Amino acid sequence: MGAPVTIDRDRLAALRAVEEDLFIKRHPRSAELAAQARTSLLAGVPMPWMTRWPGAFPVFFDSANGARFTDVDGNEFVDLCLGDTGSMTGHALPPVADAIINRARTGITTMLPSPDAAWVGEELARRFGVPRWQLAMTATDANRFALRFARYLTGRPRIAVMDWCYHGTVDETLAILDPETGAVVPRPGALGPQVDVALTTRVVPFNDLDALEATLAHGDVACLLMEPALTNIGIVLPDPGYLEGVREITRRHGVLLINDETHTICAGPGGATKAWGLEPDMVVIGKPIGGGIPVAAYGMTAEVADRLEGPMLGHDIDVAGVGGTLTGNALALAATRATLANALRDEDFAIAIPLAARFTEGVQSVIDAHGLPWHVQRLGCRAEYWFCPPPSTGSQAAAAIDEELDAFMHLWTFNRGVLLAPFHNMSLFCGYHTQADVDAHTAAFAGAVEALLG
């Protein structure tokens, strides 16, 4: 074996500066809009994450269709971010657009259920294998409601999550294990923690059944909220037997198991839960199910549902801490019905998954050709490269975060017409992508690596 390949940081900084200049030259109209937005919007953006794109300012998009979008300067891009899963169906699907327009013309929100409600419940049950469902606005919301129900049912105060998980802006989940002390501490970056996470949350490393056993033995955990594979810190796949072990241990300790399928829907129409035959007590799904309209859902076993139905019909359910005024409205249900009837189906995954496999092969061949200590991981139609060998825990993956390199790879790829997901190097495929799109990314990736290594 030769010496490990290392990245020359001066070279990286010089290359990045060239890409920054190119970015500015290609986006004059976005620069104007960004300057205008700075006067009325906090940090110049409608939502804080939008400051995290590499480049001197955010790019403003004009239109998006299928797997492509065009920015306000007329540049066209292959979209491998797909709204970080929110538009995983592909953009602007005609039947979804029709359903949304029709509902907008016939009334959006009344606090009454619409006729699409039962269809949506039945379809979610068919896909994910748990029979009874509720709607929420976002996956964050759905997770919060599921946690509240779990605490109610078990009477236990704490929840458990995986180290370096991400489940939205749910306060108790923004917690990690301190790498020095092993104590539960706020996740780096969590602003103004609303609660002391050490009081609300137990954190366990992914792929570690002994740690889970020891943690749940405290007897104070209501539920384990987890992704079947971690997707927000690269992709960390479960070891063989791990998920079966999780189910056995949670059952034995009377801890409800909640699968958050918001990203792992990339594994197939019913997420990893269906694809891998998992048996959670509750399932959460958000982001793409409304074709981009904010809607999420959480489902549960008949056993959980039967225990909740009494309180659900109680007089005070409107102040119980679950639900919301616009939640489950006619627009959300119409968009969800049209989306689930026309997208995220077996036939869509049959196109998208081979494209993700081609992406993985292309990126891996570049990694291998240069002997880089990186890896690329795939789960269904989602793939991500990370600057270390495949990790088995979130903390191992977190230790390999390289923000400079991330930003450079993004910017290089973006300047060559391909958008990756922000904050990490995730690519997502839908039925509208083509092999040529994959190959365009592979060529850009290879070019970036060659430039970096000289």
Distance, CA of 376 to CA of 363 (rounded, Å):
7
Cα 374–Cα 166–Cα 126 angle in degrees, nearest 5 = 105
Question: In sequence order, what are the residues at sequence separation of 6 or more whose Cβ sits closer than 8 angstroms to the Cβ of residue 285?
Answer: 124, 128, 139, 142, 261, 262, 265, 271, 296, 297, 298, 299
Beta bridge partners of 158: 221
Residue 246 structure tokens: 């999780």
Number of residues that bind ligand PMP (CB under 6 A): 14
What residue is closest to ligand PMP based on CB? 168
Q: What are phi and psi of 251, to 5 degrees?
A: -60, -45
Q: Is the distance from CB of 114 to CB of 333 less than 8 angstroms?
A: yes
Minimum CB separation from ligand PMP for residue 263, in Å? 5
Q: Based on CB atoms, which residue is closest to ligand PMP, 85 or 329?
A: 85
Given the rule CB under 6 A, which of 12-20, 121-129, 136-144, 146-154 is the region that contacts ligand PMP? 136-144
91: left (phi over 0), alpha (psi -120 to 50) or beta: beta
Per CB under 6 A, the list member of 30, 75, 89, 140 interacting with ligand PMP is 140
- Give the CA count within 13 Å in the CB-facing half-sphere of 37: 20
Pattern 218-247, ligand PMP, x by CB under 6 A = ---------x----x---------------
Q: x-or-dash pattern for ligand PMP, window 141-160, by CB under 6 A?
A: --x-----------------
Q: Is 139 one of the binding residues for ligand PMP (CB under 6 A)?
A: yes
Half-sphere exposure of 379 (CA within 13 A, CB side): 24
User: In the complex, what is the shortest distance from the CB of residue 293 to ligand PMP, in angstroms, rounded to a whole number?
Assistant: 12
From residue 166 to residue 195, what is the string marking binding to ligand PMP with x (rule CB under 6 A)?
xxx---------------------------
DSSP string, 333-360: HHHHHHHHHHSSSHHHHHHHHHHHHHHH
Residue whose CB is less far from ligand PMP, 290 or 362: 290
How many Å apart are CA 155 and CA 321, to the nearest integer?
A: 16
Q: Residue 332 carries which side chain, given as an amino acid letter? A: A
Site residues for ligand PMP, 269-308, by CB under 6 A, read 286-287
Assess 123 for contact with ligand PMP (CB under 6 A): no
Binding string to ligand PMP for residues 375 to 394, with x set by CB under 6 A, is what? Answer: --------------------
Please give the Cα distance from 208 to 233 (Å, whole number): 17
Out of 200, 262, 415, 427, the residue judged to bind ligand PMP by CB under 6 A: 262
Which of 30, 114, 138, 413 forms a contact with ligand PMP (CB under 6 A)?
138
Binding range to ligand PMP, per CB under 6 A, among 34-42, 73-81, 164-172, 207-215: 164-172
Tokens 């300012």: give the residue: 57
Residue with tokens 């059944």: 209
Binding map of ligand PMP across residues 406-425, x = CB under 6 A, - = no contact: --------------------
Is residue 383 within 8 A of residue 426, CB to CB? The reply is yes
Residues, the chain = 454
Which residue of 27, 156, 263, 433 would you call a contact of ligand PMP, by CB under 6 A?
263
From candidates 116, 260, 281, 384, binder to ligand PMP by CB under 6 A: 260
List contacts with ligand PMP (CB under 6 A). Answer: 138-140, 143, 166-168, 227, 232, 260, 262-263, 286-287
